[in-house]
Amino acid sequence: MPKPKPDSLIAKQFKAVLRRDVLIALIILIPVGFIVYGVFHWVFIRSKDCAYNTFLLSISLVIVGVVLEFANWRCPKCHRYIGMVYRPRFCPRCGVRFR
């Protein structure tokens, strides 16, 4: 099977996609942690307005993060969603090499 070298521009753009992916993962992780805490300490969350507001804010942040993730996790060439692949080497849609 021939192994063409990745297009340097595509590789560079895909690195930016990966960097944004890490950032989005961090944005999602903190509120997800709080939501899990909230589910196990629901009585406390409901008893404090500020805790309840933080809980609602966390859910909004996760929704925003998931939307951003869907917008970001796309092939730089064909701009289609890559799918649930961890650090892909190729685009599953158009087959372009990322790295």
Applying CB under 5 A, which part among 1-9, 35-43, 48-56, 86-94 lies near Zn ion?
86-94
Binds Zn ion by CB under 5 A, chosen from 11, 18, 51, 93: 93
Minimum CB separation of residue 89 from Zn ion in Å reads 12
Tell me how far apart the alpha carbons of residues 92 and 94 are, in angstroms, rounded to a whole number.
6
Size of the site for Zn ion (CB under 5 A): 6
Minimum CB separation of residue 49 from Zn ion in Å reads 47
Q: Does 94 bind Zn ion (CB under 5 A)?
A: yes
Q: How many residues does the chain have?
A: 99
Minimum CB separation of residue 31 from Zn ion in Å reads 31
Q: Does 91 bind Zn ion (CB under 5 A)?
A: yes
**Chain positions contacting Zn ion, by CB under 5 A:** 75, 77-78, 91, 93-94
